[in-house]
Amino acid sequence: MDDRYRVEVLGSQAKRDFSCGVDALDRYLLRQASQDQRKGVAVVYLLIDREMERVAGYYTLSTASVRSDRLPENMRVKLPRYEELPTALIGRLAVDLRYQGQKLGGFLLLDALQRCLDTSERMGLLAVTVDAKDDRARSFYEAFEFRPFVGEEYHLYLPVAKIRSLAT
């Protein structure tokens, strides 16, 4: 991505003028994100348009876990028999309407995956997970090789091992 954008952790930036067309995602950034970050529930990453000093998009990261019986059998047999396994969760990902169609959603996702990969070098992390809100979101994540958990077509994962292999 060119030098027009920077990714930074939510801080005391000026009022966030943001609208992605999904009310819940807009409200989250405007009303809940700062509180979640202060309380250690999630870290919010903003994509800032340097020219306009405007939020072009954002995503959140937090820790999570997944029940091992939700993984496909071919993956489960290679893992320790723990009931729960550690994951990272991309809880929200959105691009402002003024910036949609510029592949910034993919840029934000790749930035999130790189951060998760970096984290996996310091602590256990099996996969990155997302909860797709609808078919369009699910297709977006599947284009980046996310796969659904067993019996959960909108709860998707991408193994850290896969991210690592793509990064090298």
Active site residues: 141
Q: What is the DSSP letter of 78?
A: T
Distance of CA 100 to the CA centre of its chain: 17
- Cα 57–chain centre separation: 12
Give dist(CA 92, CA 72) in Å, integer. 25
- Exposed/middle/buried for 8, CB within 10 Å: 0-12, 13-18, 19+? exposed
**60 vs 19, 34, 49, 83, CA distance in Å?**
16, 11, 18, 26
Q: How far apart are CA 149 and CA 66, in angstroms?
A: 9
* Token digits of residue 56: 């072009």
Query: Among 97, 99, 119, 98, which residue's Cα sits nearest to residue 107?
Result: 99
In angstroms, how far is CA 80 from the centroid of its own chain? 26
